[in-house]
């Protein structure tokens, strides 16, 4: 497996840390996010969101979002025992398995901050639900 990795990133570091704790061999692909490495067409094919980290499996499938990568790597190990996720959406490929966990962090990090929150923490959508 291959990790697209920006050395100074905390999101990348936690993936490197878990890979090290698991003793997993991987190829590290250094990405300089300030040097334009994420702005190439080639990188857009790896991650259209143009962020690091990205884990590329030997099948070529890619997993973005650090927490989704952690989930994928940890499942079935001592860090997340109990085997692979029993979720119906988790049935097929590794990337399918991790897709809910990829979507949730992406939503939280990239979409919900732009939804205004009141002082009680509720969003406009919650205060004015569709009828
Ligand atoms: N929610 C994402 C955040 C990823 C992220 O912000 N990555 C930064 C490095 S920490 C990045 O690659 N930024 C590239 C850019 O903004 O151009 C995750 O947890 O993986």
Structure confidence by residue, pLDDT tens digits, 47-61: 999 999 999 999 999
Residue 66: how many other CB atoms lie within 10 Å: 24
Please give the Cα distance from 21 to 106 (Å, whole number).
25
For residue 68, the CA-to-ligand 1 centroid distance in Å is 13
- Give percent of the chain above pLDDT 90: 61
In the chain, domain spans: 2-127
Please give the Cα distance from 83 to 115 (Å, whole number).
36
3-state secondary structure of 2: strand
Please give the Cα distance from 130 to 8 (Å, whole number).
43
Predicted TM-score (pTM) of the model is 0.76
Please check whether residue 4 is in contact with residue 47, taking contact to mean a CB–CB distance below 8 angstroms. Answer: yes
- Atom 10 in ligand 1: residue holding the nearest Cα: 9
Query: CATH fold of 2-127, please?
Result: Glutaredoxin (3.40.30)
Residues with CB under 6 A from ligand 1: 6, 9, 11, 33, 38, 50-53, 65-67, 105, 109
Pairing of strands 27-30, 2-5: parallel
Per the rule left: phi > 0, alpha: psi between -120 and 50, beta: everything else, 23 is left
Please give the Cα distance from 61 to 96 (Å, whole number).
10
Please give the Cα distance from 60 to 76 (Å, whole number).
21
pLDDT tens, N- to C-terminus, the chain (131 residues)? 999 999 999 999 999 999 999 999 999 999 999 999 999 999 999 999 999 999 999 999 999 999 999 999 999 999 998 866 655 445 445 666 556 555 666 556 665 555 555 555 555 455 555 65
């Amino acid at each position: 497996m291959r990790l697209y990795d920006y050395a100074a990133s905390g999101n990348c570091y936690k993936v490197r840390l878990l890979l090290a704790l698991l003793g997993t061999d991987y190829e590290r692909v250094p990405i300089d996010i300030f040097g334009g490495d994420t702005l190439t067409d080639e990188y857009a094919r790896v991650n259209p969101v143009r962020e690091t980290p990205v884990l590329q499996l030997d099948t070529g499938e890619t997993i973005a979002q650090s927490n989704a990568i952690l989930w994928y790597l940890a499942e079935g190990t001592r860090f997340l025992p109990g085997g692979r996720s029993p979720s119906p959406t988790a049935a097929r490929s590794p990337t399918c398995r991790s897709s809910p966990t990829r979507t949730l962090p992406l939503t939280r990090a990239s979409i919900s901050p732009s939804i205004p929150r009141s002082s009680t923490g509720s969003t406009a959508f919650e205060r004015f639900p569709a009828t």
